[in-house]
Amino acid sequence: MVDLSILIVCYNSRSYIADCLSGLYEHTKECDYEVLLVDCSNDGTVDLVKSRFPQTRIIENTQNLGYGLGNNFLANHAQGKFLLLLNPDVIVSDDAIGELYRTANAMPEAGAVGGVTRLPDGSHDPGCRQTVPTLFRLLVAAAGGGRFLNGALADNATEAAEVETLSGAFMLVRRDAWDQVEGFDTSFFMYSEELDLCQRLKTMGWKIVMTPRAKIIHLVGGGQNQSPRRILLIAQARMHFFRKYWSRPKVVVGGALVWLHAMIRVVAATVAGRIVGGKRAEGLKHAYEGIVFKPESWWHGYQRNDSGTK
């Protein structure tokens, strides 16, 4: 058994997997670890990894498993006492993985430990600051106040502390905690699966912890953070989460607020486009139109035959 198993689920990741693995192998020194990778596409990622990073264990696969099922699949092959979920579009530039590992060892009550993730421009990665949804928080986000919601550490934090949830792009999970909750709920194809995992860990008595000393850069889907498909999948995942944890009346109100959030952005982008023009306004409008005009595509959450890419 090794100290740490690093799990990487790839989908069309050839353009950035080399940077991810280069940083990982260069900067992770102080623990015994293995790296397991599964590719859910056919873009040449596997051939590149075999050629440049032969120490990586590639677990053969022929279908798009999605994020949760993909990590569960890799975990079944892992030998580590801890599992690190790492997105292929993450850049490890210092001993961030070692910091997670040391924090987890120092805090045995922590079922999962995460770090601070930032975007390439240095701004906060929204996925690192997620909050557990409430109707009030959905209303605040719809009104444009989402940037004021933060379920993570304060910006000036210097020590590890308990938080609401973690980003699935960079999350270390204690193996016995993972086994206790049986990994990800695979009814979530993409998005909100880490929120659900943290909720279930907390239900079992584990703490969710973040350390400010572990920092990485997250490219967020290879630059597709405002793609209509991504926005649709996020809405779909949110509704799936609501339906799992909320009463039916609360789900209806929550869904209405998700729709309102999108509608406000479509209207604002339309007005801005007519006044000043620009590709940014047109892109924002296009990203959210599917939520507004095709609610049947996300209202019911994930269905058995859904598929998508993160």
Query: Could you say which of 221, 254, 275 is where a domain stops?
Result: 221
Record the pTM: 0.90
| 102-127 per-position pLDDT tens digit | 999 999 999 999 999 999 988 888 88
Q: Region 235-247: what's the mean pLDDT?
A: 96
pLDDT in tens, 257-291: 999 999 999 999 999 888 877 788 888 999 999 99
Task: Please give the full DSSP string across 46-75, using - where no structure is assigned.
Answer: HHHHHHH-TTSEEPP--S---HHHHHHHHH
Residue 304 lies in a domain: no
Residues 32 and 155 in one domain: yes
Question: 233 and 142, same structural domain?
Answer: no
Whether residue 100 sits in one domain with residue 171: yes
Task: Choose one of 203, 221, 239: the last residue of a domain.
Answer: 221
pLDDT score, position 304? 54
Does residue 71 contact residue 183 with C-beta atoms inside 8 Å? yes
Residue 306 within a domain:
no
For residue 8, being part of any structural domain is answered with: yes
Task: Read off the pLDDT of residues 130-167 as tens digits, 9 standing for 90 and up.
Answer: 999 999 999 999 999 988 888 888 888 899 999 999 99
CATH classification at residue 29: 3.90.550.10
How far is the CA of 24 from the CAs of 5, 6, 61, 174, in angstroms?
12, 10, 23, 20
In a domain, 27, yes or no: yes
DSSP state of 123: P
Strands 207-218 and 110-118: parallel
Non-local (6+) Cβ contacts of 85 within 8 A are: 7, 71, 168, 169, 170, 171, 172, 173, 194
The pLDDT value recorded for residue 225 is 62
Do 9 and 85 fall into the same domain?
yes
Nearest residue to 172 via CA among 106, 232, 230: 106
User: What sign has the CA pseudo-torsion 172, 149, 242, 300?
Assistant: negative
Please give the helix or strand (H or E) that residue 81 lies within, else none: none
Q: Could you give the C-alpha distances from 146 to 123, 132, 133, 137, in angstroms and in order?
A: 14, 13, 11, 8
Q: How far apart are CA 135 and CA 2, in angstroms?
A: 43
One domain, residues 192 and 242: no
Provide the percentage of residues in the chain whose pLDDT is more than 90. Answer: 74
If asked whether residues 141 and 77 sit together in one domain, one would say: yes
What distances in angstroms separate CA 284 from CA 25, 37, 222, 281, 291, one per listed residue? 37, 33, 17, 5, 12
Residues 225 and 46: their CA atoms lie apart, in Å, by 24
41 lies in the same domain as 157: yes
Do 185 and 283 have their domain in common?
no
- Is 289 within a domain? yes
Identify the band that residue 224 occupies on the pLDDT scale cut at 50, 70 and 90: low
Which of 174, 197, 221 is the last residue before a domain boundary? 221
Decide if 308 is inside a domain: no
Q: Which domain holds residue 235?
A: 228-297
Number of domains, the chain: 2
Q: Is residue 303 part of a domain?
A: no
Which of 171, 134, 167 has its CA nearest to residue 152?
Answer: 167
Q: Indicate if 41 and 147 belong to the same structural domain.
A: yes
Tokens of 170: 């960079």
Q: Does residue 245 fall inside a structural domain?
A: yes
List b or e across 254-285, with b for residues whose CB sees 16 or more CB atoms inside 10 angstroms. Answer: bbebbbbbbbebbeebeebbeeeeeeebeebb
* 45-63 per-position pLDDT tens digit: 999 999 999 999 999 888 8
Radius of gyration of the chain (CA): 19
At residue 267, the 3 state secondary structure works out as helix
Q: Are residues 107 and 185 in the same domain?
A: yes
Q: Which of 116, 97, 124, 123 is nearest to 163 (CA)?
A: 116
Same domain, 51 and 126: yes
Residues 179 and 257 in one domain: no
